Each structure stands twice: as structure tokens, then as C-alpha cells.
Amino acid sequence: MAPAGRWRCISTNTTTTTTINTTTITTMFDDFLVRAGFAGVGLAFATGPLGSFVVWRRMAYFGDATAHAAILGVALALIFSVPVTLGTLAVALAMALVVSGLATRGHAMDATLGVLSHSALALGLVAISFVPGVRVDLSAFLFGDILAVGRQDLLVIWGGAAVVVALLVWRWAPLLTATMSEDLAVASGIDPRRERLVLTLALAIVVAVALKVIGTLLIAAMLIIPAAAARGFSRTPEAMAVSAVGIGAASALAGLGASYLVDTPAGPSIVTAAAVIFAITAAVTRR
């Protein structure tokens, strides 16, 4: 299994020395590299269309608060011995519902999101320190560990992405109407609160499946940057969503390639690649 964020690792044993031939090394390299690539592309399928709605609705802080709550989900999962993905999904969904509920009651959202986001992150970090007999690599949860993605992780990531895409396709027209104008949505017989709940559920699922790939601190970046990059040259909402998927996938593959070449952490490298693509598209579309 590949180390988190680093491609080069030398293992030593004081009693025995094992010689691994070139073919074995190549096979191992190809296995985890392919899995990492599939994980990044699978995540892009979910973050592309969902990130478009995040950009349209100006929900960047909303996504950030939900992502930070994932650390608390990790702590609770370890305490109650349940799968980390399940604990993360439950807490992310609870956080998203709380934030959504406060938004409908007229609370100042910038201050509320700041309080909830950092409180959940701090509480999660404190709670993990009280888990007996468990040593947790927090950097893997904060910045991701895409190089350690296994086959079961791929099933979770692609399964979660499929659920998110299915939700958005199912509610695409009502979601667009509610995004343009809640008054227009009500006049059309659409409940804006229900559409907000759909986005809340989709966001919680993305946070849960993205935790392994890019970590809680970078999830919001992968939601926003590819969608923002696609916005400048897209003529329709559908084109923007599809373009965001392509940019997200290209960012994942380019980030992995750069991580291998210059030996940098994979998760941040993916986000950096997305930022470079955004800069290029912004310069081109401005001309």
C-alpha cells in the first residue's frame, strides 16, 4: 500500500533484506496508481454537477462547514466502532441539515457557518484524542490519502458518485428553477425546501466519499474550483456541469502525475492542478 502523499518510500528490516524484482515493483506501482486515478475521476463525477449548484447558489461556506464536520464523524465512528464512511455521512448530513435549518430562520449565515465549521472541526480533533488504543493519522483525513485507496474504497467512491448523480439528474429541472428564483419555484409548484434538502443530502454523500481522496480541508476546493473554471466558457447549465466533471477529472490525473514527478502530497497536488486550470481558463475567457 502506498504511503500517504509520498511516492518514494524505503522500508528496512534489521533481520532480513528482501529483494523485489523490477516486475513486481512495476505491478504494485501500476495497481495503486490506477486505483488512485479511478478514485479521482469517480470523485469528479460527483463534485462537477454538485459544485455547479454550489457556485450558482453561493454555498461555498456551506460546503466548507459540512466538510469540516467530517472529522467529528471520524471520531464518532472510531468511538462506536462503525465504518468511518458511515460516521462521516451521518455527521455531515446532520451538519448540513442544521445549517440549512438556520438559513431558513434568518440567522446571519457567515457568522453561523464560521462558528459551526470550526467548532465541529475542533470537537472532532479533541474527541479523537480520547479514543483509547487507537493511533490515527489525522493528516490522512485532513488532506486525503488517495494513494492508499483500495478496491473496496473504489466501490464506495463510485457508488456514492452514482447516488449523487442520480439525485441531481432526477431533480435537475426543479433544482435549476429553485436556484434561479424561489418565488418562481413556488409559483411552479416546487417546494424550495425540498430541493435544498436534495442538495444537502448530495453534499453529505460527497463529503463522506471524498474524505479518503482529498480530505476535509480540500473538499470545498474540489467542489468550487472546477465548477468556477467551467463557468467562464459554458453556455448552458448542463454544459457547465459536464465541463466541471471534465476539469475535475483532468485535475485529479494531472495532480497525481505532478505528485509522482516532484514527490509532493497527492491531495493538495490535485487541488493545485485544479487551480492552475482555473487560472488558464480565466485568462483565456477574459480574452
Domain enclosing residue 94, as ranges: 31-286
Cβ proximity of 154 and 142 under 8 Å: no
- Of 154, 275, 112, 143, whose CA–CA distance to 215 is shortest? 143
Where does the pLDDT of residue 30 fall: very low under 50, low under 70, confident under 90, or very high at 90 and above? Answer: low
Is 175 domain-assigned? yes
CATH code for the domain of 129: 1.10.3470.10
Residue 5, in any domain of the structure:
no
> Which three three-digit cell numbers place residue 204?
453529505
Q: Is residue 207 part of a domain?
A: yes
Domain assignment present for residue 59? The answer is yes
Would you say residue 132 lies in a domain? yes
Domain-located, residue 76 = yes
Q: How many structural domains are present in the chain?
A: 1
Query: Is 3 a member of any domain?
Result: no
- Residue 125 has what pLDDT? 82
Task: Report whether pLDDT(141) > 60.
Answer: yes
Torsion of CA 194, 83, 8, 270, to 10 degrees: 0
| Residues of the chain above pLDDT 70, percent | 84
Q: What digits encode the pLDDT tens for the residues 129-139?
A: 777 766 666 77
Is 232 a residue whose pLDDT tops 90?
A: no
Evaluate whether residue 25 is within a structural domain. Answer: no
With bands split at pLDDT 50, 70 and 90, how would you rate the model's confidence at 96?
confident
